[in-house]
């Protein structure tokens, strides 16, 4: 069996970008050309997994990543790995277990997806950025010195950022009726959201470097190529519907109430903890998430290119 690069969350929003980009990079590599790409999914028969399975050099395996052990990793000869974890309250427990298994299995290098850089602090109000901070702190300890890592800290994702605007346009074109355009962003604060597939492509380039030593312990900020404000999103909506939007609500996080009420995170979770997710979104209102914050290393590897208008056009096709 050939040395393996494992992709955890291969069918997810960033994982697809990794899986689609990595095989061609490996083929062009002098030292990694013989490595195989193992794409992990919970449903190998799903359409997303089936599509990935058609990529030359990719093997799709049905396996719950939270059940991966050091023995499993050794059995599959995993030497490098990508992981995009969930953001439920047990994230630290499950992702840290994966990293411990990887360390014990002799995995050489891990690239992981963190969250918005402005939130990754031990005293941040929202629970999931604290979990990312804790994972990064753990991986930087002497105990993990034998396993290199890079943590990517992407800004908001364009598809989620523009979902409400796309839905509003579609509804208007179907019914001719205007409702309320609810946006979670501020009216005048610039934010630079990412295309998640481009974040995945950056991760793939890191996984394909011959020697990841120069990226070891790095926490790279990935913001999109272009800033956009809430007002500019309204302007784009008006261009698509051909008339002025009558009712706009900015900084609307009311959808989180429904998410918390739905039982997100599983039974027995503190609603106060779950509702703290709002603080992770509020950073978009303070000006700290603009395009200028992207790490220079990211710009050198492959600067994000997809703009908000391009993503909106893409969302309207579905």
Q: pLDDT digits over 66-117, tens only? A: 999 999 999 999 999 999 999 999 999 999 999 999 999 999 999 999 999 9
Instruction: List the chain domain ranges.
Output: 4-156+195-222, 158-191+225-288+306-315
pLDDT interval class at 1 (50, 70, 90): confident
Q: Do 304 and 198 touch, CB atoms closer than 8 A?
A: yes
Average pLDDT value for residue range 193-214: 97
Residue 9: left (phi > 0), alpha (psi -120 to 50), or beta?
left
Q: Which CATH superfamily is domain 4-156+195-222 in?
A: NAD(P)-binding Rossmann-like Domain (3.40.50.720)
Q: How far apart are CA 63 and CA 287, in angstroms?
A: 40
Q: How far apart are the C-alpha atoms of 278 and 213, rounded to whole Å?
A: 36
CA atoms lying within 13 Å on the CB side of residue 240: 25
pLDDT at 262: 83
The confidence score (pLDDT) of residue 121 equals 97
**158-191+225-288+306-315: CATH topology:** UDP-galactose 4-epimerase; domain 1 (3.90.25)
Cross-strand partners of 78? 4
**Per-residue pLDDT at 201:** 97
Q: What is the pLDDT of residue 261?
A: 82
pLDDT digits (tens, 9 = 90+) for 9-56: 999 999 999 999 999 999 999 889 999 999 999 988 999 999 999 999
Q: What is the reported pLDDT for 202?
A: 98
Answer yes or no: are the C-beta atoms of 80 and 121 closer than 8 Å.
no
Q: CB of 194 within 8 A of CB of 244? A: no
What is residue 173's predicted lDDT score, i.e. its pLDDT?
A: 95
Alpha-helix runs per DSSP H in 121-243? 127-139, 158-161, 163-175, 196-207, 230-241
Vertex 211: Cα angle to 209 and 213 (nearest 5): 115
For range 198-217, the mean pLDDT: 97
């Amino acid at each position: 069996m050939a040395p393996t690069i494992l992709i955890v969350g291969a069918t997810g929003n960033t994982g697809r970008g990794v899986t689609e980009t990595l095989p061609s990079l490996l083929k062009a590599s002098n030292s990694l050309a013989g490595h195989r790409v193992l794409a992990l999914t919970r449903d190998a028969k799903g359409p997303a997994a089936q599509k990935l399975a058609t990529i030359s050099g990719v093997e799709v395996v049905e396996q719950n990543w939270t059940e991966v052990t050091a023995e499993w990793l050794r059995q599959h000869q995993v030497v490098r790995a990508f992981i995009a974890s969930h953001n439920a309250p047990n994230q630290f427990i499950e992702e840290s277990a994966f990293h411990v298994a990887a360390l014990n299995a002799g995995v050489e290098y891990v690239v992981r997806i963190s969250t918005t850089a402005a939130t990754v602090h031990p005293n941040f109000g929202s629970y999931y950025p604290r979990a990312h901070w804790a994972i990064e702190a753990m991986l930087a300890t002497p105990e993990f010195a034998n396993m290199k890592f890079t943590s990517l800290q992407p800004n908001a994702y364009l598809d989620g950022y523009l979902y409400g605007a796309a839905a509003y346009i579609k509804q208007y074109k179907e019914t001719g009726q205007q409702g309320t355009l609810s946006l979670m962003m501020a009216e005048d604060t610039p934010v630079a959201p990412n295309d998640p597939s481009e974040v995945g492509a950056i991760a793939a380039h890191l996984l394909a470097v011959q020697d990841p030593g120069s990226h070891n312990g790095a926490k790279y900020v990935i913001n999109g190529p272009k800033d956009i404000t809430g007002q500019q999103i309204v302007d784009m909506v008006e261009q698509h519907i051909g008339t002025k939007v009558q009712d706009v609500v900015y900084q609307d996080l009311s959808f989180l109430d429904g998410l918390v009420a739905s039982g997100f995170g599983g039974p027995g979770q503190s609603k106060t903890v779950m509702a703290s997710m709002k603080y992770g979104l509020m950073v978009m209102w303070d000006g700290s998430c603009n395009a200028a914050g992207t790490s220079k290393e990211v710009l050198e590897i492959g600067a994000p290119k997809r703009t908000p208008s391009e993503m909106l056009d893409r969302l309207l096709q579905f």
